[in-house]
Amino acid sequence: MKDKKTFVKERLRRLKALYERTSIWNVVFFSFTVSSALATLLIGVSLYSRFRQQSEYLVQEENQALIAQANRTLDSYLRNLMKVSDTLYYSVVKNRDLYQEPVTEELQLLYDANKDYIENIALFTGSGELIETAPAAKLKSHVKPADQEWFREAMGRSENIHFSTPKVQNLFVKNDGQYRWVISVSRAVEITRGREISQGVLLMDIRYDMIEQVFHNISLGNNGYTYLADSDGTYIYHPKMQLIAAGVYEENGPDVSALGDGNYEETFHGERRNVTVKSVGYTGWKIVGVTPVSMRWDMPGSGIRGRLFIVFLIFFFLYLLLAVNSFISSKITKPVQELEKSVKGLESGDLETVIYVGGTYEIQHLGTSIQNMARQIQSLMEDIVAEHESKRKSELDTLQSQINPHFLYNTLDIIVWMIENERQSEAVKAVTALARFFRISLSKGKTVIPVRDELEHVRNYLMIQKMRFKNRFEYEIIAQEDVGGLATIKLILQPLVENAIYHGMEYMDGDGLIRVEARRQENGLVISIEDNGLGMPRETVERLLSGEPSDSGKNASKKGSGIGLKNVHERIRLYFGPEYGLQIFSEPDEGTQILIRLPAVPYEEWEKKDIL
């Protein structure tokens, strides 16, 4: 007893927890929807039970009426053909001496009168020799009529008219090459030639498309169909004849053909369906109508339309209840849901989210308070980001502006050595290059300068380094005419060229080359620094921009400027955006190429924006 009470309490606790986690709209909508659905379901089941038997009865009556109509049409068509056959036999062939009176003209007249239904008429002897044909045609040389099934049927049971299954007419040569599908109607006849009376066969090939036309216009619902089979279950007409012949589709023809006329219900391949059977008089054929049970409500008729109307009313009533319920629930809960969406946007970090303010007074007040709070948070974050960015720019610019003291001392030593050795012209050249170098380095405190100034700065640097390394390398500086006035950050080329000298040219002996090129590429500016030095392995290239320490990196910091590629890369991304920066391509013993990608912005535009 206690366990049962504990179980009930646990269930109630879980339901309460579920209720507390469910939104207001769901609670209101679910409660009203369940009650409406139950009432509608009860009404629907009651109506369905009441009219189901009536529906099945009407379906059977309608199927029988349609199939009876098809039977009458087909019977009339076949009787006309039998009359033609009787006329040919009793009025034309029988008791006529074919030696004295050929039947060519009569056959042709009967063919012309019925050529819409008949493909050809032919008269054969008992051995299969062709006597007459209409229209005139030549018998194929390799065809033996006596071996044909229709011929054997007629000779075997001479008292009957025989109907074959559909086949391609292939007895006669067709000049147009068109061989139609036909059904052969054959009978045994008496042929008189002179004093000799013998048996022969009268053949009429009726057009198969006339049979198709009879059944093509019969519709038993959306998925219902009608087919025609003989007494052995061989299909004479079926809407899926080709699929059956290919083995793709199966039909229950042999079993159904054994049934008598009437209505039956069967299960074929797991599908329940209603089968209506109607015999076609003297032919032994049977018309079969098949209607899947699941589709009976699709049958035409006033009763079916009435039931469909009731179903429509049920669903319309249910839809109306759901619409009213949804409207009321939404009217109550929509302001809360909209405010919840706004808060979720803030939770995801989107401070630009528009806070919903609407609904009742309490919800409006809550939305206004959250909106003010979001604005304050956004203002504080913008101040923090701006302060951090300014601090970062200042740190990078200060670090970049630091020139390696060893470079200055070594350059002054070279100048003193030149003066002592009375090489005044070279000393003047070195002093001039050094002065220009420091003038551009200062650039009146500006961070962004024209490309032409940056290229002049690195040219002076290379000139001094070439003197220091005693012409161990050569250099080239190339620039397109229209790139000199574009904007770039100052002091980004000198650290890259410095790395090329100390790490690429260190073991070169007069055949080193450093090439600097500035050009436009698509919508941007590209500056390339390329050397033919020792190159670097892929692992070193991958570490350069990340700033990870390595043995080679530590040595570089001792020999180079101490600024590094990572600093240049970060400065470019900080000023121009994350889509710009450095790319490094290098292979051992193949040299190194560094590409600087910048936006192609005229220098004057940067001055106007006052972002320098």
Residue 42 pLDDT exceeds 50 = yes
Torsion-angle region of 462 (φ positive above 0: left; ψ -120 to 50: alpha; else: beta): alpha
Please report whether residue 4 resides in a domain.
no
Question: Is 296 part of a structural domain of the chain?
Answer: yes
Final residue before a domain boundary, out of 168, 185, 210: 210
The pTM of the full predicted model, rounded to 2 decimals, is 0.43
278 pLDDT above the threshold of 90 = no
Q: Which pLDDT band holds residue 201 (cuts at 50, 70, 90)?
A: very high
Longest CA–CA span in the chain (Å) reads 153
Q: Among 44-48, 130-134, 166-170, 505-509, which stretch is predicted with the lowest mean pLDDT? A: 505-509
In three-state secondary structure terms, 222 is coil
End position of a domain, from candidates 339, 372, 394:
394
Beta strands 581-587 and 591-599 are antiparallel
How far is Cα 274 from Cα 264, in angstroms, rounded to an integer? 6
17 falls within a domain: no
Range of the domain at 546: 401-609
261 shares a domain with 176: no
End-to-end CA distance of the chain: 84
CB-based contacts of 307: which residues, under 8 Å, 6+ apart? 47, 51, 55, 297
Q: Tens digit of pLDDT for each residue in 67-93?
A: 888 888 888 888 888 888 888 888 888
535 lies in the same domain as 425? yes
State the pLDDT confidence band at 593, using cuts at 50, 70 and 90: very high
> What pLDDT score was predicted for residue 576?
86
CA dist 484 and 462 (Å) reads 19
20 domain residue, yes or no: no
The answer to whether residues 325 and 367 belong to one domain is no
Identify the pLDDT of residue 517. Answer: 94
Mean pLDDT of the chain: 78
Same domain, 199 and 228: no
Where is average pLDDT lowest: 229-233, 347-351, 456-460?
347-351
b/e per residue, 387-397, with b = 16+ CB within 10 A?
Answer: eeeeeeeeebb
The three-state secondary structure class of 224 is coil
Could you tell me if residue 5 is inside a domain? no
- Which of 362, 394, 426 marks a domain boundary? 394
CATH label of the domain that carries residue 202: 3.30.450.20
Domain count, the chain: 4
User: What are the residue ranges of helices labelled H in 401-532?
Assistant: 405-420, 424-442, 451-468, 493-499
pLDDT value, residue 407: 63
Q: Per the domain annotation, does 215 fall within a domain?
A: no
Average pLDDT over residues 133-156: 87
- Reported as a single tens digit per residue, the pLDDT across 543-564 is 777 666 555 444 444 444 435 7
| CA 462/CA 430 separation, integer angstroms | 11
Residue 445 region by backbone torsions, left for phi larger than 0, else alpha for psi between -120 and 50, else beta? left
